[in-house]
Amino acid sequence: MAVLKKYTFGEITFHNHYMVAVMNEGITVCADLNNELSDIARNYYGDKNFVYITHRKNSYSVDPNIYFKTSKIKNLIGFAVVLGDSVKIDNTDLEKNFISIPFKTFTNLDAATQWANELYKKTKTVIP
């Protein structure tokens, strides 16, 4: 069962082993917001493996340096980007150079969630 939560920066829908974030138009995902997202994920998933999916319906900026810290989240097993219609520039080729976990780009949410489910099945449920 999915749980939708709204935040000042956007909204997140939590599923059993993946979360889908939709950021608000015009924001910048920087270190402080990345820390907040990490805390939100930790509070929801605990030590359970999960995949982060960002559904880029809106146009916003991402500081690629945040991915160094994101890669260190022990139970984050994958990172997916779903490009929205309003995205004018695809920066994912640059972004994937900053992250050391599986990173994949999709044109639709269904394909991203299918990948997340497959990735989850390949991993252990709990990280020791």
pLDDT band at 52 (very low <50, low <70, confident <90, very high): very high
Q: What is the pLDDT of residue 98?
A: 62
pTM given for the model: 0.86
Q: What is the pLDDT of residue 45?
A: 96
Is a pLDDT exceeding 80 seen at residue 101?
Answer: no
Q: What is the pLDDT of residue 93?
A: 58
Domain ranges in the chain are 3-121
Average pLDDT rounded to a whole number, residues 105-128: 84
Is a pLDDT exceeding 70 seen at residue 87?
Answer: no
Q: What is the pLDDT of residue 126?
A: 45
pLDDT band at 94 (very low <50, low <70, confident <90, very high): low
Task: Name the strands in the sheet holding 76-83, side by side, starting at the edge strand that comes first in the sequence.
Answer: 3-7, 10-14, 18-23, 50-56, 76-83, 103-106
Q: Where would I find the beta strands (DSSP E) of the chain?
A: 3-7, 10-14, 18-23, 28-29, 50-56, 61-62, 76-83, 103-106
The domain defined by 3-121 folds into Transcription Regulator spoIIAA (3.30.750)
64 contacts 29 by C-beta, under 8 angstroms: no
Least Cα distance to 79 among 112, 118, 32, 45 occurs for 112
| Between residues 60 and 3, the one the model is more confident about | 3
Pairing outcome for strands 10-14 and 3-7: antiparallel
Structure-token pair, residue 88:
């004018």
CA 122 to chain centre: 18
